[in-house]
């Protein structure tokens, strides 16, 4: 349940303030932790030291996931499926890290990842007043958006220059609050240990989001500085005993996106357009990649990571969509909104909030008119190809970097330039056959959705069939060569403007329309943001301040207890044990994805079948939390989040603790596997001692 | 490439007359065989006796495919994938005919199929004049449609009463010609031999429509009369040598549907609406079934046949859709239509043809407005469930059978009643879990497409989520019980009207709207039909009569030579041999669907690796031709069609013989497999001698 679709993370940003909080609900800001709830419910005191230590031990994977430091020598633990992107990029037809796993016994054997960036949060600063002050009173939505973009870019640049830290202004409560997050950034990240994907993702798509589970979904990396393992000031102590039934535990990670505070009009938009559209897109792509993958083992290897991401998103969104069709959830949303709006009646000072609902609804209707075009052109659903993405980055880069920092598109702001270049010059493998496959299909999709007669479609296809056009583009482009990208990037507008590379020419054909639809969308989002700010203000006035904002792929704290649940009248226990892995494999006749790595078959007698393997808890989590550490009251590592059960998929819209559960790998199961199956004594020592030997 | 979607067979009915014919093109009517072409091109004379023998040896599978008699004792050979539906219906969790295959060594061991009906064409009568005479001059499209439906039902009923044969009036050249087809019908059909699906469909979806191939895609049945094997007057003699390179061969089978004679406006409709819609529907269903199938072996078994059908249709339509986006094909269509319309200029007696193009285009635009609703409500895409289909048949049957024969919906005409009842009272297995899965998904699809607020959607969902509603319907309905269906059917309108069965209530909610959209669609199809009749007349006048109509799942004759082709600069040979099967399996590491049945592994040394296994030829075929016999000049069985290559998928719109090829199993490969792998000596004897021993 990695956050694969970063666009959505940004696009779903339209949220008001939370309902009152009860139970184990909440993805809490570190600046507003649920101290009172935890004290009253569990009698435990969250101290500032405890929080600071956990915050600085938590790691964000920019590819879309979470992790934590587990030794002072920069050892990072995350999920195998979070690391899969990095493993895929390291792999070739000859050496398949994703399938076969990897183990470095010394730092010299650790393998540097192609373009992985890790962030560690250092501080949070409230900049709401400064952001709002920059927007002139009475500004149009478009002007307001530009002013806000400008001040955010300035704040980020000033912070970067002052502190040397990656600095991001984050919009919370959808315009209610703005925070400046500063991260220490690691770009030299090396692979230390990965199990085989068969056991990391045992059961594959069929068992994804299901429980009971038996997954060793872990992957170890190490951050380096100046070519040496980094000494990190904070890391989590390893608990050999691990999580216990009924125990209070905490999750520190980066939930990607929730939609709990949307207005009913926005939820209807999700239900009626966004989810159906996205699911159509995902299912189409899944069939395409699945069918192609099965033609040969090498095809399968090339598409594997993307295919997993697609299936994962599809399953998550199918579950979320079902939630929006559930009268129990949607009905409650309608009632809550009605009740709140009733409270606004007669309160003249809250007039802005009263009218905000209508404003948001109108903006949403306008968004509906352009949303499809935005997906196709700006999100690139009509041009699914890595090379197209590179061509667009070069084209836009040549225009945007020439502008003052505050006037650029958000992703070209100066503060993010280093990360931008890292991605642009990544020499991750690009496979022409796979590119032709996805590009032809997405060109067909574009023509279907905009209409074959559409003038842009005609210019894009240039008189050829989608397949012939995709083939011509791929065979003609030189952008697969990183040196050529550098040449164009360094040559700026002159070089890019003179380029006759067909992929750059395609990006040029599309860019006017793409920018135009984005401009409209950003104005409409700003209009919604203003509406949400008014609602947020009213909610603070009526209900007080203590709540949490919707998830934004920034660090949050959740809590909950290790606990089973009832399903179809049966009780589902909180733990699985190692022997269950072998039993499930046998019951599925060892057919992929229920086959076991040879090593696991061979070590069956060696490993203790009774050791806890996976467990469930009531944590409030969502995609992006994958890889988050689960810690006990002592702040020790007791497990690692890797999934949620199928009932947790409605957490996008509302918290639920009767059946919704987080899924984790147990710290004891990890140790037992490393020791008995992989003979990874050096790694186990480092985990137990919290530092490398020697 | 079975015709799984019978709706499409009917819906795509809108065709004019053919272009002039060259090369090996054509799916010829037995009443208008390509005598001259074959004489001049191959120096072979098609005699009436030769044709009559082949026609009466050809068998139609009403589940959607073709076959032939291969012994005088009623032995029928078809593809395993045509028989799959019957195998699936016979199977249970304990005995899996589809997966494990079957062999009867004596008639007593032959297993009776649940609801399989086979038809053998006996005669063809031209009834065009009588059908057209029934339509009053100046009738509206709706009146004309009703009049035509009435006279067709009358003709069929009269023929049935007179001859005792199944009698169908078939619309050819889309209203240019009407033929009355009379079939001998067999409803006691027993399974004789089936190989394991692994070898019948070796390579599964990934290798479907690909070549080289290695499939033993055969299945033997036997027709019975009065509880004994039927003596059939015609059967094909088996050729032990089989097809040879460069040899002229013939295919006699039932191509389901082609769209070669559509106007450009109709092709654009296919390109812009019908194919995208159908592909969205198929891919959604494929993901649903695939994901569910993988959760357990039993799930996989239950969904297997449907999943194959879906994947097969998806791959075929993706290929067809690509053809419509190919300027080489679509451009030629535009040019040909322009040229023909130019020839009509100034010919006052062809005025009707001149205006027909505009009429067809207008009707097509109106169809576009209602097509989605027609798919959802009338084709049942919004209610995918066997029980819903049964409920609708009971509901409509209670209304339709009370009407005069000529006023009923086409499928309730008296002549088809026996077949209708056979299907309604079939005790094929209905799995509640699979039904809930597909019904909830299709209810969601319905809500997405019509809009959640739509009043019909609201009535259908009845205040529940799609899943809750589907569960309630499945758990509450008693229609799974065949006795209950009989009770309601025999009770007629009174019993059905009084029924509170929730599935019948659902059918009742939908039926008004479904009938209304069908009524509109039928009128618009009639308007198109009149336009096509005028164009057909003009074409006869300008170009003479010798041509073939679009495919209609009725018996046709195709011809071609056994011949390889060039692909990506490489020469693809016309034959594969048995050893290639083992090599492909090894290269794919024996992973499903490239695993081999144990029997095949064990017999590797016994079987001759050099025997021809599959071959390609230039036959003009399409889905529905699966299982068609391939015969040589002597009328002997030399192979059996089971697929086309990927390049053949454009045959829907235009014939092509540079790369498009039919795929067949070779008669020598079948014998060798039966003998050496299955030890099926009795069956082999029957094939060689043309009769059962004893």
The token pair that represents B295 in the structure block: 């959760």
Write the pLDDT tens digit of every residue in B502-526.
Answer: 999 999 999 999 999 999 999 999 9
Separation in Å, CA of B629 to nearest CA in chain A: 29
Task: Kindly report the number of other CB atoms within 10 A of residue B94's CB atom.
Answer: 5
B448 interaction partners in chain A (CB closer than 8 Å)? 272, 276
Any domain includes B364: yes
Cβ pair A286:B287 closer than 8 A: yes
* pLDDT confidence of residue A554: 96
Q: Which of A118-122, A410-414, B123-127 has the lowest mean pLDDT?
A: A410-414
Write the pLDDT tens digit of every residue in B535-586.
Answer: 988 988 888 766 899 999 999 999 999 999 999 889 999 999 999 999 999 9
* pLDDT confidence of residue A16: 30
How wide is the angle at C-alpha A656 spanned by C-alphas A655 and A658, nearest 5°?
165
d(CA A397, CA A400): 5
* Secondary structure of A89-133 in HEC code, one letter for each residue: HHCCCCCCHHHHCEECCCHHHCEECCCCCEEEEEEEEECHHHHHH
* pLDDT confidence of residue A307: 95
Average pLDDT of span A221-236: 97
Separation in Å, CA of A252 to nearest CA in chain B: 31
| DSSP SS3 for A391 | helix
Separation in Å, CA of A126 to nearest CA in chain B: 41
* pLDDT confidence of residue A3: 47
Separation in Å, CA of B307 to nearest CA in chain A: 12
Cβ pair B593:A452 closer than 8 A: no
A593 interaction partners in chain B (CB closer than 8 Å)? 294
Write the pLDDT tens digit of every residue in A581-636.
Answer: 999 999 998 988 999 999 999 999 999 999 999 999 999 999 999 999 999 999 99
* pLDDT confidence of residue B532: 93
Write the pLDDT tens digit of every residue in A88-138.
Answer: 999 998 999 999 999 999 999 999 999 899 999 999 999 999 999 999 988
Which B-chain residues 237-296 have CB contacts (< 8 A) with chain A?
A: 268, 271-272, 276, 279-280, 283-284, 286-287, 290-291, 294-296
Separation in Å, CA of B462 to nearest CA in chain A: 11
- Of A287, A297, A467, which has the smallest distance from its Cβ to B287's Cβ? A287
Write the pLDDT tens digit of every residue in B323-346.
Answer: 999 999 999 999 999 999 999 988
* pLDDT confidence of residue A12: 30
Task: Kindly report the number of other CB atoms within 10 A of residue B658's CB atom.
Answer: 10
Whether the CB-CB separation of B497 and B398 falls below 8 Å is answered with yes
A311 interaction partners in chain B (CB closer than 8 Å)? 291
Query: Would the pLDDT of A14 be above 80?
Result: no
* pLDDT confidence of residue A557: 98
CA atoms lying within 13 Å on the CB side of residue A286: 27
Average pLDDT of span B469-474: 97
Q: Which residue of B has its CA nearest to A466?
A: B325
Cβ pair A321:B280 closer than 8 A: no
* pLDDT confidence of residue B22: 61
Q: Give residue A346's pLDDT band: very low, low, confident or very high (50, 70, 90).
A: confident
Query: Would the pLDDT of A7 be above 70?
Result: no
Cβ pair B295:A463 closer than 8 A: no
Q: Give residue B694's pLDDT band: very low, low, confident or very high (50, 70, 90).
A: low
Cβ pair A272:B314 closer than 8 A: no
- A-B C-beta contacts closer than 8 Å: 95
Cβ pair A271:B322 closer than 8 A: no
What ipTM is given for this predicted complex? 0.90
A284 interaction partners in chain B (CB closer than 8 Å)? 279-280, 283
* pLDDT confidence of residue B198: 96
* pLDDT confidence of residue B3: 47
Separation in Å, CA of A466 to nearest CA in chain B: 7
* pLDDT confidence of residue A372: 98
d(CA B259, CA B37): 23
d(CA B664, CA B666): 6
- Please list, in sequence order, all residues whose beta carbon lies within 8 angstroms of the beta carbon of residue A160, skipping any fewer than 6 positions away: A166, A167, A414, A415
Q: How many domains is chain A built from?
A: 1
Query: Would the pLDDT of B8 be above 70?
Result: no
- Please list, in sequence order, all residues whose beta carbon lies within 8 angstroms of the beta carbon of residue B345, skipping any fewer than 6 positions away: B354
- A19 has which bridge partners? none
Query: Would the pLDDT of A671 be above 90?
Result: yes
Any domain includes B535: yes
d(CA B622, CA B649): 8
Query: Would the pLDDT of A347 be above 90?
Result: no
Separation in Å, CA of A255 to nearest CA in chain B: 26
Q: Which residue of B has its CA nearest to A298?
A: B588
Write the pLDDT tens digit of every residue in A352-391.
Answer: 999 999 999 999 999 999 999 999 999 999 999 999 999 9
* pLDDT confidence of residue A56: 98
Any domain includes B222: no
Cβ pair A465:B326 closer than 8 A: yes
d(CA B543, CA B562): 31
Whether the CB-CB separation of A312 and A1 falls below 8 Å is answered with yes
Any domain includes B396: yes
Query: Would the pLDDT of B16 be above 50?
Result: no
- Of A287, A294, A467, which has the smallest distance from its Cβ to B206's Cβ? A294
* pLDDT confidence of residue B692: 94
A211 interaction partners in chain B (CB closer than 8 Å)? none
- Of A272, A444, A593, which has the smallest distance from its Cβ to B452's Cβ? A272
B210 interaction partners in chain A (CB closer than 8 Å)? 295
Q: What is the pTM of this model?
A: 0.90
* pLDDT confidence of residue A10: 28
Cβ pair A294:B466 closer than 8 A: no
Query: Would the pLDDT of B34 be above 90?
Result: yes
- Selected residue of A99, A300, A325, A458 to mutate for chain B interface (largest B Cβ count, 10 A): A325
Any domain includes A407: yes
Which B-chain residues 591-610 have CB contacts (< 8 A) with chain A?
A: 591-593
Separation in Å, CA of B277 to nearest CA in chain A: 10
Any domain includes A32: no
Any domain includes B417: yes
Query: Would the pLDDT of A659 be above 70?
Result: yes
d(CA B4, CA A622): 40
Write the pLDDT tens digit of every residue in A54-75.
Answer: 999 999 998 899 999 999 999 9
* pLDDT confidence of residue B484: 98
Average pLDDT of span A192-208: 96
- Of B272, B294, B448, which has the smallest distance from its Cβ to A206's Cβ? B294
Any domain includes B495: yes
Average pLDDT of span B358-385: 97
Q: Which long-range contacts (CB under 8 A, 24 or more apart) does B21-26 make?
A: B21/B546, B21/B547, B21/B548, B23/B618, B23/B655, B23/B657, B24/B558, B24/B559, B24/B560, B24/B561, B24/B618, B24/B619, B24/B620, B24/B655, B24/B657, B25/B620, B25/B655, B25/B657, B26/B548, B26/B558, B26/B559, B26/B620, B26/B655
Write the pLDDT tens digit of every residue in B603-643.
Answer: 999 999 999 999 999 999 999 999 999 999 999 999 999 99
Look at residues A132, A227, A115, A119 and name the one whose alpha carbon lies nearest to residue A183: A119
Q: Which residue of A has its CA nearest to B297?
A: A588
Cβ pair A464:B327 closer than 8 A: yes
Average pLDDT of span B241-246: 96
Domain that residue B402 falls in = 346-543
B589 interaction partners in chain A (CB closer than 8 Å)? 297
Mean pLDDT of chain B: 93
Task: Give yes or no for B433 touching A (CB within 8 A).
Answer: no
Average pLDDT of span A511-536: 95
Q: Give residue B12's pLDDT band: very low, low, confident or very high (50, 70, 90).
A: very low
d(CA A19, CA A388): 43
Separation in Å, CA of B642 to nearest CA in chain A: 19
Rounded to a whole number of angstroms, the CA Rg of chain B reads: 25
- Of B286, B326, B588, which has the smallest distance from its Cβ to A297's Cβ? B588
DSSP letter string over A396-423? HHHHHTTS-GGGS-GGG-GGGHHHHHHH
* pLDDT confidence of residue B568: 82
Q: Which residues of B142-175 are buried (b: 16+ CB within 10 A; e: fewer)?
A: eebbbbbbbbbbbbbbebbeeeebbbbbbbbbbb
Cβ pair A290:B294 closer than 8 A: no
């Amino acid at each position: 349940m990695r956050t694969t679709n970063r666009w959505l993370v940004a696009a779903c940003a339209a949220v008001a303030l939370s309902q009152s909080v009860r139970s184990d609900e909440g993805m809490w800001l570190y600046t507003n932790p649920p101290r009172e709830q935890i004290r009253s419910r569990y009698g435990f005191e969250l101290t500032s030291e405890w929080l600071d230590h956990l915050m600085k031990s938590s790691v964000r994977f920019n590819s879309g996931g979470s992790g934590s430091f587990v030794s002072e020598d920069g050892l990072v633990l995350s999920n195998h499926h979070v690391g899969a992107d990095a493993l895929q990029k390291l792999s070739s037809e000859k050496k398949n890290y994703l399938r076969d796993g990897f183990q470095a016994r010394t730092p010299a054997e650790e393998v540097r990842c192609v373009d992985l960036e890790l962030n560690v949060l250092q501080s949070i600063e409230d900049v709401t007043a400064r952001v709002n002050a920059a927007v002139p009173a009475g500004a149009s939505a478009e002007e307001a958006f530009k002013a806000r973009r400008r001040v955010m870019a300035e704040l980020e640049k000033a912070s970067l220059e002052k502190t040397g830290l990656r600095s991001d202004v984050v919009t919370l409560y959808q315009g209610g609050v703005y925070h400046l997050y500063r991260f220490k950034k690691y770009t030299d990240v090396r692979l230390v240990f990965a199990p085989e994907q068969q056991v990391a993702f045992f059961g594959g798509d069929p068992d994804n989001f299901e429980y009971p589970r038996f997954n060793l979904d872990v992957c170890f990396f190490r951050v380096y500085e100046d070519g040496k393992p980094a000494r990190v000031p904070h890391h989590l102590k390893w608990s050999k005993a691990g999580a216990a039934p009924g125990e209070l535990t905490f999750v520190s990670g980066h939930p990607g996106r929730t939609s709990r505070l949307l207005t009913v009009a926005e939820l209807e938009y999700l239900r009626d357009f966004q989810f159906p559209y996205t699911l159509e897109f995902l299912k189409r792509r899944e069939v395409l990649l699945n069918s192609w993958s099965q033609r040969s083992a090498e095809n399968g290897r090339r598409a594997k990571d993307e295919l997993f991401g697609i299936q994962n998103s599809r399953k998550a969104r199918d579950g979320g969509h079902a939630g929006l069709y559930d009268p129990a959830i949607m009905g409650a949303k309608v009632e809550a909104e009605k009740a709140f709006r009733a409270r606004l009646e007669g309160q003249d000072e809250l007039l802005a909030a009263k009218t905000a609902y209508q404003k948001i609804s109108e903006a949403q209707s306008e968004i509906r008119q352009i949303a499809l075009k935005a997906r196709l052109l700006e999100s690139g659903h009509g041009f699914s190809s890595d090379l197209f993405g590179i061509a667009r980055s070069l084209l836009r880069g040549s225009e945007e970097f020439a502008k003052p920092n505050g006037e650029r598109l958000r992703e070209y702001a100066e503060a993010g330039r280093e990360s931008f270049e890292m991605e642009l010059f990544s020499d991750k493998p690009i496979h022409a056959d796979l590119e032709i496959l996805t590009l032809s299909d997405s060109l067909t999709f574009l023509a279907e959705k905009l209409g074959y007669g559409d003038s842009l479609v005609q210019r894009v296809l240039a008189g050829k069939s989608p397949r012939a056009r995709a083939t011509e583009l791929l065979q003609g482009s030189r952008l697969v060569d990183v040196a050529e990208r550098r040449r164009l990037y360094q040559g700026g507008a002159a070089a890019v403007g003179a380029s006759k590379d067909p992929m750059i020419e395609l990006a040029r054909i599309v860019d006017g329309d793409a920018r135009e639809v984005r401009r409209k969308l950003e104005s409409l989002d700003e209009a919604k943001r203003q509406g949400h700010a008014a609602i947020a203000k009213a909610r603070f006035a009526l209900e007080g301040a203590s709540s949490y904002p919707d998830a934004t792929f920034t660090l949050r704290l959740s809590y909950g207890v290790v606990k089973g649940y009832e399903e179809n009248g049966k009780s589902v226990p909180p733990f699985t044990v190692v022997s269950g892995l072998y039993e499930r494999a046998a019951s599925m006749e060892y057919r992929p994805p229920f086959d076991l790595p040879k090593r696991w078959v061979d070590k069956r007698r060696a490993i203790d079948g009774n050791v806890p393997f996976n467990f469930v808890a009531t944590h409030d989590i969502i995609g992006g939390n994958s890889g988050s550490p689960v810690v006990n009251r002592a702040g020790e590592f007791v497990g690692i989040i890797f999934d949620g059960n199928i009932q947790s998929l409605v957490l996008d819209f509302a918290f639920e603790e009767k059946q919704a559960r987080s899924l984790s790998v147990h710290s004891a199961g990890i140790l037992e596997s490393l020791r008995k199956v992989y003979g990874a004594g050096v790694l186990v020592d480092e985990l137990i001692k919290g530092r490398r030997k020697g």
